[in-house]
Amino acid sequence: MQRRTGMGRSILNNIIHLFYSTILANLLQAVSLIALANFFNAQHYGMFSVAIAVTFVMLFFTDLGLSNTFLREGAKDGADLEKILSSYVKIRMILLIFISIIGYISIHYMYADKNLIYMTINVMFFMLIGLTWQNIGIAYFQLTERMKYIALIKVVSSSVVIIITCFCIFGELPVYVTARLYAFGYMIGGLFSIYIMRRKTKMNMKVVIHKALFWQLTPFIISGFLIMSTPQLAPILLNYTLPLSMVGVFAVAYRMPAALYQVPGVIAGAFFPVLFKHYNQNNLEEHTKLNLLQIKSMAIVGICMTIGLYHLAPYFISIFFHEEWSNAVEPLQILSFLIVLQSLNIAIADGLTTSGCQNKRTVVQCVALVIGGVMLYSFSSIGGVIGAAYAMVLFEIVALVGYIAVSVVKKKIVFQIVIPYTIYFGVTFIGVQYIVHTYHLIALVLNILIVVAAIFLYDYELKKLLLSFIRKIRKKDYITKQGI
């Protein structure tokens, strides 16, 4: 099996495909979750949110960092992609079977509420299988940089889920049946992912497992677990400190920034394999320049989306949700700051991962997760949903400080990005809030225009990097001199 090549394939093309598909897929997912939140009551939606969180924890254990080592090994010159892919799929299928059994047993020990156990069982199995299959296809197409197929998988899966959701709601099906069919939609998306991948490549499941997939896997396992735990930490922990109805309120508020973060996350996904290639080819200067461009790009997009969500939060809740969800506005505004913080964190952390510093990333994640878990438990016990929202923001700040501290280019990150961007964003946000805080739409437009203009006017390095980036795209040799 040969890797597809093409001089025209570039980061920009990758971003375009991932951008439109991510927006469309997340829009469809958001519509389905909004519809379910209005269809379920707060308690049922709280149980549903816990079930999804548990499913994503199980999903991690079907991967155990193998997607990262698959990308690493497949990106090497002369790699046998057929053998690597076949080994990757075989290992993940074995893990899927094993983890499904362990998961079923575990949830009976984790929860005493029989309704919660039943909800989790209804959601977990179909969704776990479907997402595992989708992830396999996405990892393959990310490696071969055929992002249009990732876009197709995401859009088809989300479309199936929303069609099934609408069918359940209009048919007024029971809550647990609706949850089961919602999860089944992801399984259909997974089947589609495997179908597309099998048409574009060959696999031999009898091949001897490629042992290099396990090389330096431990840091990826720990890091992957911590990355997975971050968004699932709140629903799982809050189940022990708040009533399920309040967990539902937090879930409604948290879903929006979690979904919107996928947009700047598209940038990270497009840069990730190219950063690996630069490091594997010992092109460290280009790796640093590209990572700085990634951090700045994700920061700008994150700032704009944070501003937008903060000011539009009251409209989102009042338009899309019933009256019982009105108390989700304030936590949603607080949680909107997660978008810009996560954008910075992922970009800086990707620079560590793709430069052989995965251990440093893992240590920071461990420390941040422990501190975040303590803050989330204590803050939610004292301040309820609002306290939980503040704890999540503080958790991301702790992680940001940690990533910067262990980065080899910390001075450039601090003085070229963090300090100036914080000043532009902070001063503009506070000033606009003080002047026109009652006019949300005007404040939104002013905030974005002023902060973006300030960044592009005064960030000479960003303009320089962007011009260099554009020149390399025009030469069509940016990804590799060999045309890969």
User: Domain ranges in the chain?
Assistant: 7-215, 218-472
The pair of structure tokens assigned to 134 is 């989708």
The highest-confidence range among 139-143, 260-264, 465-469, 480-484, by mean pLDDT, is 139-143
Q: What is the arithmetic mean of pLDDT over 62-79?
A: 80
Exposure b/e, 9-45, CB count within 10 A at least 16 = b: bbbebbbbbbbebbeebbebbbbbbbbbbbbbebbbb
Handedness of CA 197, 203, 206, 210 (dihedral sign): negative
Count of Cβ atoms closer than 10 Å to residue 226 Cβ: 22
Q: What is the arithmetic mean of pLDDT over 78-89?
A: 81
Straight-line distance from the first to the last Cα atom of the chain, in angstroms, rounded to the nearest whole number: 15
Does position 149 have pLDDT exceeding 80, yes or no?
yes
pLDDT of residue 161: 92
Does position 6 have pLDDT exceeding 50, yes or no?
no
Per-residue pLDDT band at 481 (split at 50, 70, 90): very low
Integer Cα distance of 458 and 480 in angstroms:
31
pLDDT of residue 448: 83
Q: What is the 3-state secondary structure (H, E, C) of 309-333?
A: HHHHHHHHHHHHCCHHHHHHHHHHH
Q: CA angle, 69 as apex, 5 and 13 as ends, to 5°?
A: 35
Select from 98, 101, 96, 93 the least CA-distant residue to 59.
96
Per-residue pLDDT band at 101 (split at 50, 70, 90): very high
Burial class (CB in 10 A: 0-12, 13-18, 19+), 245: middle
Per-residue pLDDT band at 11 (split at 50, 70, 90): low
pLDDT of residue 14: 67
Integer Cα distance of 346 and 298 in angstroms:
9
Q: What is the mean pLDDT of the chain?
A: 83
Handedness of CA 226, 227, 228, 232 (dihedral sign): positive
Task: Find the helix or strand (DSSP H, E) in which 297 lies.
Answer: helix 284-320
The more confidently predicted of residues 204 and 343 is 343
The pTM of the whole model exceeds 0.85: no
Does position 113 have pLDDT exceeding 70, yes or no?
yes
Question: In whole angstroms, what separates CA 467 from the centre of its chain?
Answer: 28
pLDDT in tens, 251-276: 888 888 887 877 777 777 778 778 87
Q: What is the C-alpha R_g of the chain?
A: 22
pLDDT of residue 5: 44
The more confidently predicted of residues 277 and 115 is 115
Does position 242 have pLDDT exceeding 80, yes or no?
yes
Instruction: Specify whether the CB–CB gap between 261 and 338 falls below 8 A.
Output: yes
Integer Cα distance of 349 and 346 in angstroms:
5
DSSP string, 45-111: HHHHHHHHHHHHHHHHHTTTTHHHHHHHHHTSTT--HHHHHHHHHHHHHHHHHHHHHHHHHHHHHH-
pLDDT in tens, 161-213: 999 999 999 988 999 999 999 999 999 999 999 999 888 887 777 777 777 77
Does position 3 have pLDDT exceeding 70, yes or no?
no
Instruction: Collect all residues with Cβ–Cβ distance below 8 Å to 14 and sequence separation of at least 6.
Output: 145, 147, 269, 270
The pair of structure tokens assigned to 131 is 């997402």
The more confidently predicted of residues 217 and 161 is 161
pLDDT of residue 201: 82
Instruction: Specify whether the CB–CB gap between 468 and 290 falls below 8 A.
Output: no
pLDDT in tens, 376-407: 999 999 999 999 999 999 999 999 999 999 98
Instruction: Specify whether the CB–CB gap between 372 and 237 falls below 8 A.
Output: no
The percentage of residues in the chain with a pLDDT greater than 70, rounded to a whole number, is 92
The pair of structure tokens assigned to 437 is 């805080």
Q: What is the arithmetic mean of pLDDT over 34-51?
A: 85
Per-residue pLDDT band at 473 (split at 50, 70, 90): low
